Amino acid sequence: MSQNAMTAKGLVSGLIKSSRAFVLGTALIAGSMTMLSSTHAQAEKILRVGNDGEPQSMDPHFISTVQTSRLSDDMSLGLLTYGPDGQPVPGAAESWTVSDDGMTYTFKIRDHNWSDGTPVTAQDFIAGWQRLLDPALGAEYASLLYIIEGAEDVNTGKDGAKLAATAIDDHTLKVKLTAPAPYFLAQLTHQTAFAIPRHVVEKYGKDWVKPENIVVNGPYKLVEWIPNVHTKLVKNEEFYDAKNVPIDEVIYYTYEDRTAMQNRFRADELDVARDIASEQISWLRDNLSDSLRIAPYAGIYYYAIRTDKEKFADPRVRKALSLAINREAITDAVLKTGELPAYSFVPPGTGNYTEPAYVSWKDLPYGEKVAEAKKLMAEAGYGPDNPLKFTLRYNTSENHKRIAIAAQNMWKQIGVEADLFNTEGKIHYADLKVGDFEVARAGWIADYNDAQNFLFLGEERTGPLNYAAFGNPRYNELMMEAENEGDLKKRAELMHQAEAIMMEAQPYIPIYYYVSKQLVSPKVKGWIDNAPDRHLTRWLDIAE
C-alpha cells in the first residue's frame, strides 16, 4: 500500500476538521486557501493545452486513450516517433535495416540518455516489450505487439514462450516478426512499443511513474499531476535534441466539458483546445475561424449489422439498408462539422493502401439509391404488409441520437421500421461484444496508419471485435494472403479485393469518416493538421 494511503481514521478526522471549518465560516476557509497557493518560477515559453479527458497513467503500458497518449508522446521517444506532420520519423532508432523477406528488422539505437543521465540501451526496449506482454501486468493494448514472433505466446502464458527480440549490443536491436508487416515501423511510434527505464522501474515498482521518480527519454518530463486539474511537463534537458525544442513547459488541463474548455480558450487561458463544442460550430466558424481547425482523422463511423441473425442473413437486405442512408444529409445537415460521407470502410488516404474499394453505387443520385433499395427489399420478400422490423442501438451521445433518428426516417421510406434503443457506453459495448444486438452504432479509429487496422474488423479470427460476425471465407483468405505478402503493392491489392467483398456484402454500413476538431491559437506555430492527429509539443513554438 502506498505511503500516502488514507486510513479510515484519517478520513474521519479530516471530516471532523471540515465540520469545524464550517462553524468557523467561509472567511477562515478563504484565508487558508490563499495560504495554500504556491509561488513558482515562470518558465519562458509555456504551452497551455485543454485536453478533453483525464490522463489514465504516465506508464506507457497502461495507456489506451488518445487523451493520455498526447502526454506520453511528449515524454517518451519510441524507436520511431511522430514528425511535425504526424508521419513516422526516426526517434530512438537513428536507422534500421530490413531483411529481404521483410520479417527481420535491425535497429541502430541512437546514442542518447534517460532524463537521469543513464544511457538508453537496446535492452531497455526489450524490457519494455517483455513487461507489456507479461500476463500478470494486465496491459490492455498488449495485442498490438503480437506481430513480433513469440509475443502472443508470452502474453497468453504459454510454457517456454520467448520473444524474438535480441540485443546484439547496447545499440543494436534485432526483431523477428511473424509476418512481413509493413505497418511495423508505424506501430513503433505507439506507446506500447516504448522503452522503459529498467533501473527506475525495478527500484520503485508501480510508483516509478510518480513525478518525483519518473525518468523519461523524450523531450518533456512530468513534474506535477493534480488529478482532474492539470499535468505539467517541463523540458527534459537530457533529451538528445533539446536545443531544438522551443517550448519550455507544457500544461495539459483536463476538461471533459467542451463548452468550459472553449470558454477558457476564448478568454485566452488556453493556447490549444483539443476538442470543440460541436453544437456551436456556426458561431465558431463566424468568430474564431483563425483558430478553428477541422481536418480528416483516420477513423470511420459505421453501423454494424449482425449477419448471423436470420433477418439480416440476406445480403440484399443489408445492401438496401445501406443504400437508403443519405450520408450527405447526415454530414451536411445533422453534423455540420466537416465530416465526410463514407462509402468505404477504410478512410481515403490510409497508409499502405490503394484508393479504398468504394461501394459500386456510390455515385448514384439519392433518389435512385432509394428506388434500388425498395426493389431489393421487395426481392427479399418484404413489403408494406410485411415490413422489416428491428432495433437500432446506440450509446449515449447527442450526435449518435440525431444520426439514429435520421437513419430511422430514411429507412422508413423503404418500408423498414426501426426502433431506437439507447444505452450508456459500457452496456452498449458489452452487448456488442457478445453479439446481443441487431443493428448497432460503432466507430473505429486507427491505432496505426495501415489499411489492415480497419479491415481486420471483418475477419473471422478477429473474434468479438468483428461485431457483425461477418464470416466470408474468401475475405478471410485474402486478408491472410495479404498478411504474408512482402510486396507492398501486391499486399495493398489483396486488401483492396477484400474490402470490395465487404462493401458488396455490407456487414458494416459506413456512414462518415471522422474529422479532428480543435482550436489552436494563431500564436502557436508549427501546428500541421494531419490524419493521425498527432501534434508533439517538441515541434511547436509560441510567437510572442
Partners of residue 109 on adjacent β-strands = 93
Which residue bears the cell 527505464?
197
With CB under 8 A as the contact rule, the residue among 13, 14, 283, 362 that binds another protein is: 14
- Asked if residue 205 binds another protein (CB under 8 A), the reply is no
- Asked if residue 243 binds another protein (CB under 8 A), the reply is no
Binding segment (CB under 8 A) for another protein, from list 305-313, 375-383, 427-435, 479-487: 427-435
Please, which of residues 260-319 interact with another protein by CB under 8 A?
Answer: 260, 263-264, 266-267, 269
Dihedral angle sign, alpha carbons of residues 487, 488, 489, 491: positive
Q: How far is the CB of 470 from another protein (least distance, A)?
A: 15
Binding segment (CB under 8 A) for another protein, from list 49-57, 300-308, 487-495, 504-512: 49-57
- The residue type found at 204 is Y
Give the total of residues touching another protein (CB under 8 A): 81
Cβ contact 351:422 at 8 Å: no
CA distance 535 to 74: 9
Measured in whole angstroms, how far is the alpha carbon of residue 152 from the centre of its chain?
Answer: 22
Nearer to another protein, 36 or 41 (CB): 36
Please, which of residues 475-534 interact with another protein by CB under 8 A?
Answer: none
- Asked if residue 225 binds another protein (CB under 8 A), the reply is yes
CA distance 535 to 353: 24
- Asked if residue 405 binds another protein (CB under 8 A), the reply is no
Nearer to another protein, 270 or 323 (CB): 270
- Asked if residue 224 binds another protein (CB under 8 A), the reply is no
Query: What is the DSSP secondary-structure string of 31-88?
Result: HHHHHH----PPPSSEEEEEESS----SSGGG--SHHHHHHHHHH---SEEE-TTS-E
443-472 footprint of another protein as x/- string (CB under 8 A): xxx-----------------xxx-------
Q: How far is the CB of 297 from another protein (least distance, A)?
A: 14
For the chain, the farthest-separated pair of C-alpha atoms sits apart, in whole angstroms, at 79
Binding segment (CB under 8 A) for another protein, from list 76-84, 99-107, 306-314, 424-432: 424-432
Q: Which residues contact 139 (CB under 8 A, 6 or more apart)?
A: 61, 62, 132, 133, 192
Please, which of residues 156-175 interact with another protein by CB under 8 A?
Answer: 156
With CB under 8 A as the contact rule, the residue among 82, 105, 129, 255 that binds another protein is: 255
Dihedral angle sign, alpha carbons of residues 410, 416, 421, 426: negative
With CB under 8 A as the contact rule, the residue among 109, 148, 151, 209 that binds another protein is: 209
The Cα-based distances of 421 to 117, 405, 426, 428, 465 in angstroms read 56, 11, 14, 10, 21
The Cα-based distances of 382 to 295, 312, 369 in angstroms read 41, 12, 17
- Asked if residue 41 binds another protein (CB under 8 A), the reply is no
CA atoms within 13 A on the CB side of 185: 20
Cβ contact 189:88 at 8 Å: yes
Binding segment (CB under 8 A) for another protein, from list 91-99, 109-117, 227-235, 516-524: 227-235
Q: How far is the CB of 143 from another protein (least distance, A)?
A: 5
Q: How far is the CB of 234 from another protein (least distance, A)?
A: 16
- Asked if residue 42 binds another protein (CB under 8 A), the reply is no
Task: State the burial class of residue 7 (Cβ atoms within 10 Å of its Cβ: 0-12, 13-18, 19+).
Answer: exposed
Nearer to another protein, 77 or 440 (CB): 440
- Asked if residue 71 binds another protein (CB under 8 A), the reply is no
CA distance 526 to 61: 29
Binding segment (CB under 8 A) for another protein, from list 225-233, 302-310, 470-478, 535-543: 225-233
- Asked if residue 429 binds another protein (CB under 8 A), the reply is yes
- Asked if residue 101 binds another protein (CB under 8 A), the reply is no
Please, which of residues 122-141 interact with another protein by CB under 8 A?
Answer: 135-140
Q: How far is the CB of 25 from another protein (least distance, A)?
A: 6
Under DSSP, the state recorded for 446 is -
- Asked if residue 154 binds another protein (CB under 8 A), the reply is no
With CB under 8 A as the contact rule, the residue among 49, 376, 442, 502 that binds another protein is: 442
Tell me how many degrees the CA angle 152-155-161 measures, rounded to the nearest 5.
70
Partners of residue 46 on adjacent β-strands = 249
- Asked if residue 203 binds another protein (CB under 8 A), the reply is no
Nearer to another protein, 232 or 491 (CB): 232
Nearer to another protein, 258 or 538 (CB): 258
Which residue bears the cell 504516465?
58
Nearer to another protein, 189 or 326 (CB): 189
Please, which of residues 372-401 interact with another protein by CB under 8 A?
Answer: none
